[in-house]
């Protein structure tokens, strides 16, 4: 193995470690939450859809964006209340886990959960 190959391999390993370290802390800091229970009252219902729409209109903040990121695409947008409505009133797909029990976000993304009162 050439000196260049060893250097390149070491640089790639360092880069990979830096990427893991930069993603992992965000995941570890997230509180447990129930996806879809945007209001944090322990129930998933039409009030959560309304709360998400009010947030999207810029009239409120959400302490747990992960709970509102229904399709777990890493952002809260108009697709999220639509998916939640489909789940509530049709045979639509249920929210991405954790849907009915407290848990962490299974994906590393930019949404976070600073506070969620329904999970101990």
Query: Model confidence over 57-73: pLDDT tens digits?
Result: 999 999 899 999 999 99
Q: What tens digit of pLDDT does each residue of 74-118 get?
A: 999 999 999 999 989 987 777 776 666 888 888 888 888 888 888
Query: Are 105 and 66 in contact, with CB atoms under 8 Å apart?
Result: yes
Tell me which fold the domain 31-89 belongs to: Type 1 dockerin domain (1.10.1330)
CA nearest neighbour of 113 among 33, 49, 22: 33
The answer to whether the predicted template modeling score (pTM) of the entire model surpasses 0.75 is: no
Q: What tens digit of pLDDT does each residue of 1-55 get?
A: 555 445 444 443 443 333 333 333 333 344 789 999 999 998 999 999 999 999 9
> Domain-by-domain residue ranges, the chain?
31-89
Query: Are 106 and 97 in contact, with CB atoms under 8 Å apart?
Result: yes
What interhelical angle do 46-56 and 79-89 show, nearest 10? 170
């Amino acid at each position: 193995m050439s000196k260049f190959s060893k250097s390149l391999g070491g640089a790639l390993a360092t880069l990979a470690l830096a990427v893991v370290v930069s993603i992992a802390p965000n995941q570890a800091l997230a509180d447990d939450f129930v996806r879809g229970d945007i209001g944090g009252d322990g129930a998933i219902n039409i009030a959560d859809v309304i709360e998400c729409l009010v947030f999207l209109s810029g009239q409120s903040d959400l302490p747990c964006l992960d709970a509102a990121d229904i399709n777990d695409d890493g952002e809260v947008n108009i697709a999220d209340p639509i998916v939640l409505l489909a789940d509530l009133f049709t045979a639509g797909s249920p929210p991405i886990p954790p849907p009915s029990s407290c848990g962490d976000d299974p994906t590393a993304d930019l949404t976070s959960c600073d506070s969620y009162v329904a999970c101990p």
